[in-house]
Structure 1
Amino acid sequence: MLEGVQFFPVTPFTPNGSINLEVFAEHVRTGLDHGAGGVFVACGTGEFHALSLEEYAQVVRTAVEVTAGRVPVFAGAGGTLPFAQQFARLAHEAGADGLLLLPPYLVQAPPAGLVAYTKAVASATDLPVIVYHRGNARFDVASAVEVARLPQVIGLKDGFGDLELLSRIILGIRSALEDDGKSFLFFNGLPTAEATVPAYRGIGVELYSSAVFCFAPEISMTFHRAAAAGDTALVERLQHEFFHPLAALRDLVPGYAVSLVKAAVRRRGLDVGGVRAPLVDPSPEHLEVLYRLTDTGLAICAHEALR
């Protein structure tokens, strides 16, 4: 159902703060033209937390229309339970192919509560659901197996980076589903996922989301091909000279995982505006670092294309 690099588009805003659907449609088209394997709209990079219900429905509907069945479209859903269920229904009405279930709002829930939350949101529609294991939605092995057994749950996206725990979850789910013949997907969902792709591939997780794909699909796809081909030298060069420094820059300010991406998209020529509060746009000095890193990554890719 999903393969290749997963594209998480940003949500463009106009100077007066409204959503720019025309720019958003162009953003999605560009990602499709560069080979995105799936489109995940109104998720973390798309500022799900900052969208109204009406805005959410608009961006999901636009993504579905632009994609036109070329690849699956998944929409974010999460927050308080009633809103998560409403987001799920809106995604279904807009024609989405599935949901990425984001963490519930604020509270730290025990695993049993997360199972109940997943069941309740999944029951709002018949859409396939990928569960996001991160933040205040931390599953243990038993609860991960329980949600994996739900008919609508088709995958788990890891945003913690605890590979020992994830390895146990993977083996537990595979063992539990073996007799059912149910296929199940695992994703590397860490910010700047390429920084950890080799480690995740080592435990059998090959799918990942790429925020870099939003603004430099050339870098993202070059890295993806190198990782799939076992070109360790190119993988490590891109990590050392681009992805690892980008991750370090991202960690300087909370929310930079989104605002740096939007700034880089703007620099590549698409006016997606800034981020909504409570996030902040990057400082001028951090923008200089971002631009320099992007130029370095693009230069490496251009050199590889000439080989």
Structure 2
Amino acid sequence: MNIISEQQIENRAYWINEISRLSGDFGVDAERVEAELSQEISENGIAALLGHLRLCGAIPEGYRHDSSEEKLYSKYTDVVIHEAFKAMGFTSLVLKERADVADVECVTEKYSFVADAKAFRLSRTAKNQKDFKVQAMDNWKHGKPFATVVCPAYQLPSRTSQIYQQAATRSVLVSTYTHLTVGIRYAELAGQERAIDLLHKVFKTVETLNPSKNAIAYWQAINTAILDFDKILSELWREEKIALTESIGISKQEALQFLARERERIMRLSRDEAIKEVLKSRKIDNRVKAINKVADNGILNSR
């Protein structure tokens, strides 16, 4: 039995089209996305939110780089994590400012933090430390003690990276959508107060880390802090690791199907040389290879 349901996959397709259809006036569209997504989760419950969290890390290949669709999709992922933190018990706000601030702000009686969501195309091969905004998030705390960047697990460096050194140095939690799904499911089982305490423990764990580029050491500390917090988390963890594998397969299929359609469209163009030239300019074969290489990098196994 699959963890990611057909309904969640269909809902993903709906939102890809919806974001494409809405694109035009960014300010108006962003507010409509937030309102519609909030209403959907309110009506359909936690299952709808889990579906978004499990699948939103991959930017659709059909969205052009730096397009209005891509920018609106980025805002959509911010709304998704905003809804996730609300489900965990935080008072959360999606900020409207466009520069020098984080995108999401969360508060509770015990502590507060800022958050940002990251998503990448599966075909994107070159990612650097600036893509993850760790240093920027430290600057955007604006007096809050903590900050977090939420990323798709399979796109994070699994061996060494400066982002882990920056995370420990600047007390910025690099986390994943998978960790968030575990958090909101835990809130359902154990209560929001316990989920809030769990995240606080993870934030404090980052504060105590020795700065290092070592990805394994970083994820061992984060994952162990979660799994040692409550024994009921281990089953949630196991299920969400399966969901992660499923999400990779679903996202790869979605991307490859788009590129297949795009290749066919190009090949229906007139002359052979023109076809070859367009194929070369679009780098479809390279993107297919990059997508096929995406796999679970095992960071959730570190403990």
Give the TM bin, normalised by the shorter chain: 0.3 to 0.5
TM-score (norm 2): 0.36
